[in-house]
């Protein structure tokens, strides 16, 4: 029969080897892929220690919430980042913390114990940014996140083709501004523009070429951005 101390040691090793999970949404995933790290600096209330009813002191105002529950917020957020437990615990000092999301709205800074709420033993927090290049990890998304990424790529691809066609047209020496054909490309009211062109037949929008070139550049960058996110995704899960 296994001894109690051996049982505790085994459970400790299991928890240290167990993967950790960070849940987020597509908006934040864009920044994570761009910067290569998990880092949250904008928060309006302290993170409370689960062992001492005192706030944790983050380095450089950073905290990253982690959990050992693989399905905690996957359905709501749509993005799950799995982090290797051994890598994380060898590189980061992790703190168990109290999830105070259900605390009274009128007094969010009161410790959980004084609220009579239960703590989740599966929750931990890193008070340093997590650089993904230094930690074995994988990124999984829900199908609706993948659909949204492909939808955004198509939107920007379609607009890129329109912008390129417009750039070719306005670069022609025979180009003549036509409100019905061109005004909507620049967010100009067609009716008002018709009246304006009557008085000034040779009128064109200010910085016309620069604005179209900017539209081409923006669409190109957005397409590259979303394709880069796709390259970082390791799987699509509906469970």
Average pLDDT over residues 206-215: 95
**Are 178 and 113 members of one domain?**
no
* pLDDT score for 125: 84
- The mean pLDDT value of the chain amounts to 80
Convert the pLDDT of each residue in 131-168 to its tens digit: 999 999 999 999 999 999 999 999 999 999 999 999 99
**Are 137 and 161 members of one domain?**
no
Q: Which of 32-41, 50-59, 95-104 has the least mean pLDDT?
A: 50-59
Backbone angles phi, psi at 215, to 5 degrees: -65, -40
DSSP per-residue letters across 115-184: HT----TTEEEESS-EEGGGS-EEEEE-HHHHHHHHHHHHHHHHHHHHHHHHHHHHTSTT----HHHHGG
| Cβ neighbour number for residue 46 with a 10 Å cutoff | 17
| pLDDT reading at 123 higher than 50 | yes
Backbone angles phi, psi at 235, to 5 degrees: 180, 155
**Are 115 and 79 members of one domain?**
yes
Average pLDDT over residues 200-228: 95
Average pLDDT over residues 106-130: 57
**Are 102 and 154 members of one domain?**
no
**Are 113 and 161 members of one domain?**
no
Q: How confident is the model at residue 59 (pLDDT cuts 50, 70, 90)?
A: very low
Last residue of a domain, one of 95, 118, 141: 141
**Are 130 and 30 members of one domain?**
yes
Last residue of a domain, one of 81, 109, 141: 141
**Are 82 and 176 members of one domain?**
no
* pLDDT score for 99: 53
**Are 131 and 154 members of one domain?**
no
**Are 72 and 41 members of one domain?**
yes
Q: Which of 14-18, 186-190, 235-239 has the least mean pLDDT?
A: 14-18
Last residue of a domain, one of 141, 174, 207: 141
* pLDDT score for 132: 92
Q: How confident is the model at residue 90 (pLDDT cuts 50, 70, 90)?
A: confident
What percent of the chain stands above pLDDT 90?
51
What's the total number of domains in the chain?
Answer: 2
Full domain range(s) for residue 213: 145-236
**Are 98 and 151 members of one domain?**
no
**Are 136 and 59 members of one domain?**
yes
**Are 31 and 124 members of one domain?**
yes
């Amino acid at each position: 029969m296994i001894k109690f101390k051996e049982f505790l040691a085994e459970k400790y090793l299991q928890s240290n080897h167990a993967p950790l999970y960070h849940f987020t949404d597509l908006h934040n995933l864009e920044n994570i892929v761009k910067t290569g790290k998990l880092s949250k600096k904008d928060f309006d209330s302290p993170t409370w220690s689960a062992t001492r009813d005192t706030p944790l002191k983050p380095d450089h105002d950073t905290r990253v919430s982690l959990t050992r529950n693989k399905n905690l917020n996957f359905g709501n957020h749509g993005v799950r980042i799995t982090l290797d437990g051994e890598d994380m615990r060898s590189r980061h000092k992790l703190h168990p913390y109290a999830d105070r999301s259900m605390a009274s709205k009128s007094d969010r800074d009161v410790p959980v114990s004084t609220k009579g709420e239960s703590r989740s033993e599966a929750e931990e927090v890193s008070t340093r940014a997590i650089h993904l290049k230094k930690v074995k990890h994988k990124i999984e998304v829900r199908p609706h996140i993948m659909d949204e990424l492909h939808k955004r790529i198509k939107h920007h691809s379609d607009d890129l083709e329109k912008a390129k066609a417009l750039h070719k047209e306005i670069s022609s020496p025979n180009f003549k501004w036509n409100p019905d054909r061109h005004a909507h490309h620049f967010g100009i009211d067609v009716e008002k523009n018709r009246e304006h062109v009557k008085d000034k037949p040779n009128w064109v929008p200010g910085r016309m070429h620069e604005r179209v070139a900017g539209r081409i550049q923006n669409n190109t960058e957005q397409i590259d951005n979303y394709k880069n996110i796709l390259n970082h995704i390791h799987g699509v899960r509906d469970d």
